[in-house]
Amino acid sequence: MAEITASLVKELRERTGAGMMECKKALSETGGDIDAAAENLRKSGLAKADKKAGRVAAEGRIASAQDGGKAVLVEINSETDFVAKDENFVAFTNAAAQAALATADIEALKAASIDGATVEETRAALIAKVGENVQLRRMVRIDTDNTVAAYVHGGRIGVLVELKGGDADLARGLAMHVAAMNPPHIKASDVPADFIEKEKEIELAKMSDKDKAKPADILEKIIGGKINKIVNEVTLYGQPYVLDTNQSVEAVLKGAGAEVVRFERLAVGEGIEKVVEDYAAEVMKQAGLA
């Protein structure tokens, strides 16, 4: 049996385009026979997986898993919405979310096990099956003795809510609210002071000269009213509750004797720069017509 050296693994990786771990495993299984290892990687489809790693994966799915007060959201990306709806992709995201319940972060998740293989190995096999780049992008988790709700809307938006007091139904309703309204902050005291000052400057600049000439105390009340409205718009507590728009979220919570400790919200592809291809323009450019 040949020694499985780093240079041998590197050679197989360059030859097949497979991942380092897959190459090392293939060499171990073939006693260091690089030709046999390369053939096994091609048969399993893993030889193609790494070659797709440079493609932009901005579509995908948010999956959730929960066990009492422990809940997670995992974002796994694909290149197209078509693959994001593929049954193999959906099954992988669900399995990864379940595995994430026992892990601390996305790197630990990659090493976690799904049916005898690591999540990373399963991802590589999925790439070969669906023919697209698949990436485990991020995860968030809550682990508490308080009430927790996990809600995923259409696989595109996921929310976790931790609630002190109240019940599971209220927590789920609040998770649905956060999914729909995407508040940046929980309550007014969480809004940064520099944001408030900037909004005051903007509101003052928008006022007419006639309004600006009003007494200072009246002017302060006018500006204060506008700022309060803005703060309500950017805070969970200040927004009208989506399941009962006649009440604010704060009023609903007060009536239930509850408070929101934290929430986490993920949306598929947010922050990923998508490349928009203009194939007609590219063809014309190559033909010297543009």
Indicate if the pLDDT at residue 273 is higher than 70.
Answer: no
- The residue among 181 and 128 whose pLDDT is bigger is 181
60 and 128 belong to one structural domain: yes
- The residue among 129 and 261 whose pLDDT is bigger is 261
Reported as a single tens digit per residue, the pLDDT across 193-223 is: 999 999 988 888 888 888 888 888 888 898 9
Write the CB contacts of 67 (distance below 8 Å, at least 6 apart in sequence): 101
69 and 138 belong to one structural domain: yes
75 and 136 belong to one structural domain: yes
- The residue among 44 and 130 whose pLDDT is bigger is 130
Mean pLDDT of all residues in 101-126: 95
Average pLDDT value for the chain: 88
Q: Residue 87: which CATH number?
A: 3.30.479.20
Range from 66-75, 157-166, 217-226, 247-256 carrying the lowest mean pLDDT: 217-226
pLDDT for res 116: 93
If one counts every other C-beta atom within 10 angstroms of the C-beta of residue 283, the result is 11
Residue 193 domain-assigned (yes or no):
no
H helix intervals, 62-163: 81-84, 87-100, 106-111, 119-130
Express the helix, strand and coil content of the chain in percent, nearest 5 each. 50, 20, 30
40 and 60 belong to one structural domain: no
| Band of residue 52 on the pLDDT scale cut at 50, 70, 90 | low
Question: Which structural domain range is residue 38 located in?
Answer: 6-48
Q: Give the predicted TM-score (pTM) of the model.
A: 0.76
Residue 113 domain-assigned (yes or no):
yes
* Element at 228 (helix H, strand E): helix 216-233
Mean pLDDT of all residues in 232-245: 97
Indicate if the pLDDT at residue 9 is higher than 90.
Answer: no
Indicate if the pLDDT at residue 278 is higher than 60.
Answer: no
What would the two tokens of residue 20 be?
């380092």
**Domain end call among 143, 162, 179:** 143
What would the two tokens of residue 269 be?
């592809």
64 and 93 belong to one structural domain: yes
Indicate if the pLDDT at residue 279 is higher than 50.
Answer: no
Q: In Å, how far from its chain's centre is CA 49?
A: 22
**Domain end call among 90, 125, 143:** 143
22 and 95 belong to one structural domain: no
If one counts every other C-beta atom within 10 angstroms of the C-beta of residue 154, the result is 9
pLDDT for res 218: 87
What would the two tokens of residue 196 be?
């408030």
Residue 31 domain-assigned (yes or no):
yes
Residue 167 domain-assigned (yes or no):
no
Distance in angstroms (rounded) separating the CA atoms of residues 26 and 6? 13
63 and 115 belong to one structural domain: yes
Q: Nearest-CA neighbor of 186 among 116, 258, 246? A: 258
Residue 67 domain-assigned (yes or no):
yes
* Domains identified in the chain, total number: 2
93 and 43 belong to one structural domain: no
Residue 223 domain-assigned (yes or no):
no
Q: Are 22 and 103 in contact (CB under 8 A)?
A: no
Q: Residue 29: which CATH number?
A: 1.10.8.10
Distance in angstroms (rounded) separating the CA atoms of residues 182 and 199? 20
**Domain end call among 112, 143, 174:** 143
31 and 74 belong to one structural domain: no
